[in-house]
């Protein structure tokens, strides 16, 4: 009897949450796929017609925004690796007893709402704001110099908002490096640069990959930063999807675009997962 109980127990434990995930995560994907193949409008309702042309139409209408999002996402990710690696390295190797405090400081922005943080940046970067107006008065920048509305502002906002997601996984990977391995490299006459390149960096790679996963996907599908800090020249695909869904109620186009975006990102994620093995990515991502 006890054995039978042991067999059923995990299923009973998993069932409620599993069903929730199934109904509200997996099923909606199917609902969205179905919606993308329907025709009609919000007033008269939608009918399933298997209208694949929505996809080609949506892609050709918004390919600029799709490319732009991927490029912004990629630039954000590269900048993040460059910015976050030294921070993670310092905390992991020199943080000492203050490691926890440093990590806490890096996570501090999470205690403020994402929207509020981004709006705060707009307040700082605006033409009359505390950064640009003194510079303009001092003649350092010209009258027509702006930051808001430029790709620089949007990417800057993305980098700001996702930095902790890059620092943490790299830190976890570095933290797990056995100091004896680093010592061994030095004993074998590797100079610091070689030790870093041949020993530390390769061991940190799973962390970098997890960081890429945790930043590239949300950054390229973000619509808050480009809406708050950008202009019509920086429109990202997330804004298009959001507007089509919530303002225009053009559900088929919006669903089709969502699917295209998801497919593109999935291909990227699976390529990473294949290179590393899913286990490693999951392990690092889970910490």
Partner 1 sequence: MTASTLQRPQSSGTDDAAQLKPKRRITGRGMLHTYTWLIIAWLIVPIAVMIAFGFNDTPGRYNQTWDGFTFKWYGRLFEYSDLTSALVTSLVIAVVASLLSGALGTGIGYALGRYRFRGSGSLNLIMFATISSPELIMGASLLSLFVSAGAGLGPVTITIAHVMFSISFVAVVVRARVMTLDRSIEEAAADLGANGWTTFWKVTFPIILPAIFSGVLLAFALSIDDFIVTAFTAGTTKTFPLWIWGATRVGIPPQVNVMGTLIFAIGVLGAVIANIRSSRQGKRD
Site for partner 1 in 23-52 (CB under 8 A): 24-29, 31-32, 34-35
Among 41, 110, 194, 198, binds partner 1 (CB under 8 A): 110
In order, the DSSP letters of 100-154 are HHHHHHHHGGGGS-HHHHHHHHHHHHSTTSTTHHHHHHTTSS-TT---TTSHHHH
Among 37, 80, 106, 174, binds partner 1 (CB under 8 A): 106
Binding positions for partner 1, 124-183, rule CB under 8 A: 124, 126, 128-130, 160, 163-164, 175, 179-180, 182-183
State the CB neighbour count (10 A cutoff) for residue 41: 12
User: What is the nearest approach in angstroms of partner 1 to the Cβ of residue 234?
Assistant: 16
Exposure string (b/e) for 227-240, b if CB count within 10 Å is 16 or more? bbbbeeebbbbbbb
Among 74, 81, 109, 250, binds partner 1 (CB under 8 A): 109
CA 221 to chain centre: 8
Among 71, 75, 141, 262, binds partner 1 (CB under 8 A): 262
99 binds partner 1 (CB under 8 A): yes
Identity of the residue, 57 or 127, whose beta carbon is nearer to partner 1 in the bound complex: 127
Strand-pair partners of 45: 41
Site map 51..90 versus partner 1, x via CB under 8 A: --------------------------------x--xx-xx
Whether the CB-CB separation of 165 and 208 falls below 8 Å is answered with: no
Among 108, 140, 267, 275, binds partner 1 (CB under 8 A): 108
User: What is the nearest approach in angstroms of partner 1 to the Cβ of residue 143?
Assistant: 19
Burial class of 68 by CB neighbour count within 10 A (0 to 12, 13 to 18, 19+): buried
User: What is the nearest approach in angstroms of partner 1 to the Cβ of residue 197?
Assistant: 15
Whether the CB-CB separation of 115 and 222 falls below 8 Å is answered with: no
């Amino acid at each position: 009897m006890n054995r039978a109980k042991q067999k059923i127990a995990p299923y009973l434990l998993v069932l409620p949450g599993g069903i929730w995930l199934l109904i509200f995560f997996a099923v909606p994907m199917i609902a969205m796929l179905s919606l993308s193949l329907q025709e009609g409008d919000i007033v008269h309702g939608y009918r399933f017609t298997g209208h694949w042309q929505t996809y080609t139409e949506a892609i050709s209408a918004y390919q600029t925004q799709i490319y732009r999002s991927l490029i912004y996402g990629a630039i954000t990710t590269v900048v993040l690796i460059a910015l976050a690696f030294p921070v993670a390295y310092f905390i992991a190797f020199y943080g000492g007893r203050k490691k926890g405090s440093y990590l806490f400081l890096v996570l501090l922005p999470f205690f403020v709402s994402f929207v509020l943080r981004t709006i705060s940046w707009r307040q700082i970067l605006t033409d009359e704001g505390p950064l640009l107006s003194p510079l303009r008065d001092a003649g350092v920048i010209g009258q027509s110099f702006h930051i808001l509305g430029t790709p620089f502002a949007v990417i800057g906002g993305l980098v700001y908002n996702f930095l902790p997601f890059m620092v943490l996984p790299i830190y976890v990977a570095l933290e797990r490096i056995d100091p004896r391995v680093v010592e061994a490299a030095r004993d074998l006459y590797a100079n610091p640069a070689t030790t870093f390149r041949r020993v530390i960096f390769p061991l940190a790679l799973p962390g970098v990959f997890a960081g890429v996963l945790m930043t590239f996907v949300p950054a390229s599908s973000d619509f808050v930063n480009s809406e708050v800090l950008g202009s019509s020249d920086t429109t990202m695909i997330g804004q298009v999807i959001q507007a089509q869904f919530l303002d225009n109620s053009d559900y088929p186009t919006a669903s089709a675009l969502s699917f295209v975006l998801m497919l593109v990102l999935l291909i990227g994620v699976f390529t990473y997962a294949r290179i590393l093995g899913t286990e490693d990515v999951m392990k690092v991502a889970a910490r």
